[in-house]
Structure 1
């Protein structure tokens, strides 16, 4: 067991009632998990306030309560620690509790609106192929060497992050690549971690249900780079108008990548087809199995990061050529009847535009591009009409459908999406609320050589309706329908 005073190192304490030289069990911010001698940290969340559950934690045997507001009735034998910000305290305490594991490996954070999963997952793939023990913390999965763990959040809570980093450290992992979300930064989930580097992908419309304004969203992302140490590197997208802003106040060493402007790591697209990309990276010609303009940016970021982490240039280029697509990110299947189905996670206006523009730049225009798309419920509503406008402008036909409606009425969400469709594109659009039927409709509409894009859910293997998650896999469903219809 660890002493309370050791896990409070660096925490800004306002008041302590009781002793800190006490041995404690585990750290919890969920009062239901508290057992004898544990520490309960009261976190104020969007849905509930941990301060309301202090009494429950006490009853269950908590030895220490960490809070922003001391309870009126205090129990003898329990230590109460008052802090200004319990989220920040939790991050620092979790890091101390697990022995500051981020300092034992090279941790690289990837932030931005789109591309976080692809960049972090492909960096994990590249360094694994180079023979290193590698860790990954992403939206899709947490990997410790060869072991996989399920995850539900882009950036998990501080206890979970440090628990897995400690496991990585124990397993001899040398590099860990981690997605860093704006929610995670804002809620201090990454505070207390030692980063070797930070990567900025791009910034566009997303999460404005949480951040309220685009400026606030941008500034939260920037805070990640503001907090990087001098010893770290900060690699930014030189072509994104917010790329330079991200690095304005960072102490880290600054580097850039891009396609259009002068950059430390410069990519140029020589060929772009459904078979892949022929690229020039800092003057070196390479072939990649990945498709599209957006993946050229992702590969430039990966190339730059691998270089900054000390990988030999020739090995770096060879390994980039061998990288394979990430699940649900421009994943495609060509049926026997020559219909191409593409599944992509594009769930923001910018990501959808990128995917559709990529397809349009490759296709001959003699075939139809049929897009199946919807928007998630209980999330940023302002992006819905924008998604509708983009889908109807850049596709031949569109089937609007439900995504993860959560607690919202799916038909109402579709109405919001349809509101963005301009008069000249109304004839292109139909609405089918049931997502499975929407995919079937697109498959029935498709002829030989046509392209069916199913956007919004990507790697997800569920659909969430009123708090219930049911099995749902876009790629599996579209394959089944195409095979069935071709019999």
Structure 2
């Protein structure tokens, strides 16, 4: 897209570096990539494209998206639910409770997205950072005061929600699913715990204490958080 920033991030199957030249040909005026990669990029003669380097383009992408859409997450009360099973049920029940209390509330999850006016089928549990910030901005425009979302381990590992400070979080359970992506249970558990590390200092964490990984999630909560 003309005038755009291209973020060359590492993927699970391919590398964003391979698409820098096509992105520039399509009109990108700036490229963000890893610091170590900047010196290996060859630009056309007299190119005005700006090369930017950082330690982690994926993490920075979430911050860029949040700023681009004028910080929508900070304008909503954000609640996130994670766990292997039960996320969809809990988010829908919470959404209904908040709406029933007279508060317009957005919903993001595996089945659908409710932006406060329209419902649409979801393509994944937690959208990529740019799409997520755009959706939150739309919710704010539609007078939502809160949003409840499913937050997958993939999304947490990829920092899709990295720009969001959650007012409330919930942990359902953790089983050995998704190890095709995480490879180890420790990595899977650590990814889940990132949701609780992103709580506000006075945030609420509802944790299934009967799950063997509950204490790990509790330990990830900031000091001052309310754990129930």
The aligned counterpart of 2:23 is 57
User: Which residues of structure 2 form unaligned runs of 5+?
Assistant: none
Q: What are the residue-to-residue correspondences of 1:26-105 with 2, within 5 Å? A: 35-68=1-34, 69-70=37-38, 71-75=40-44, 76-105=47-76
Q: Give the 3-state SS of the residue equivalent to 1:58 in structure 2.
A: helix
The aligned counterpart of 1:146 is 117
The aligned counterpart of 1:233 is 204
Bigger relative CO (Cα 8 Å, ≥ 6 apart): 2
1:112 aligns with 2:83: yes
Q: Give the 3-state SS of the residue equivalent to 1:190 in structure 2.
A: coil
Q: What are the residue-to-residue correspondences of 1:15-414 with 2, within 5 Å? A: 35-68=1-34, 69-70=37-38, 71-75=40-44, 76-251=47-222, 253-256=225-228
How does the TM-score come out when normalised to structure 1?
A: 0.45
- Counterpart contact for 1:141–1:149, Cα < 8 Å: yes
Task: Tell me by how many angstroms 1:129 deviates.
Answer: 2.1
- Counterpart contact for 1:98–1:163, Cα < 8 Å: yes
- Counterpart contact for 2:165–2:198, Cα < 8 Å: no
- Counterpart contact for 1:226–1:247, Cα < 8 Å: no
Task: Tell me by how many angstroms 1:240 deviates.
Answer: 1.3
How does the TM-score come out when normalised to structure 2?
A: 0.93
Cα shift readout 1:386-441 (whole Å, capped 9, x = no counterpart): xxxxxxxxxxxxxxxxxxxxxxxxxxxxxxxxxxxxxxxxxxxxxxxxxxxxxxxx
1:255 and 1:194 map into 2 onto residues whose CA distance is 16
1:36 and 1:164 map into 2 onto residues whose CA distance is 22
Q: Give the 3-state SS of the residue equivalent to 1:169 in structure 2.
A: helix
Task: Tell me by how many angstroms 1:149 deviates.
Answer: 2.0
Task: Tell me by how many angstroms 1:139 deviates.
Answer: 0.4
2:32 and 2:99 map into 1 onto residues whose CA distance is 40
Cα shift readout 1:102-157 (whole Å, capped 9, x = no counterpart): 11010000001111011011111121222221100100011011311222111110
Which has the larger Rg?
1
Q: Give the 3-state SS of the residue equivalent to 2:202 in structure 1.
A: coil
Task: Tell me by how many angstroms 1:74 deviates.
Answer: 2.2
Task: Tell me by how many angstroms 1:255 deviates.
Answer: 2.1
Q: What is the number of residues matched between the two proteins?
A: 222
1:72 and 1:84 map into 2 onto residues whose CA distance is 16
2:41 and 2:139 map into 1 onto residues whose CA distance is 42
- Counterpart contact for 1:100–1:193, Cα < 8 Å: no
Task: Tell me by how many angstroms 1:213 deviates.
Answer: 1.3
Q: Give the 3-state SS of the residue equivalent to 2:199 in structure 1.
A: coil
Q: Which moved more, 1:80-89 or 1:245-254?
A: 245-254
Q: Give the 3-state SS of the residue equivalent to 2:200 in structure 1.
A: coil
1:89 and 1:253 map into 2 onto residues whose CA distance is 26
Q: Give the 3-state SS of the residue equivalent to 1:215 in structure 2.
A: helix
2:140 and 2:134 map into 1 onto residues whose CA distance is 10
User: Which residues of structure 1 form unaligned runs of 5+?
Assistant: 1-34, 257-487
Task: Tell me by how many angstroms 1:172 deviates.
Answer: 1.1
Task: Tell me by how many angstroms 1:47 deviates.
Answer: 1.8
Task: Tell me by how many angstroms 1:86 deviates.
Answer: 1.1
Task: Tell me by how many angstroms 1:84 deviates.
Answer: 1.1
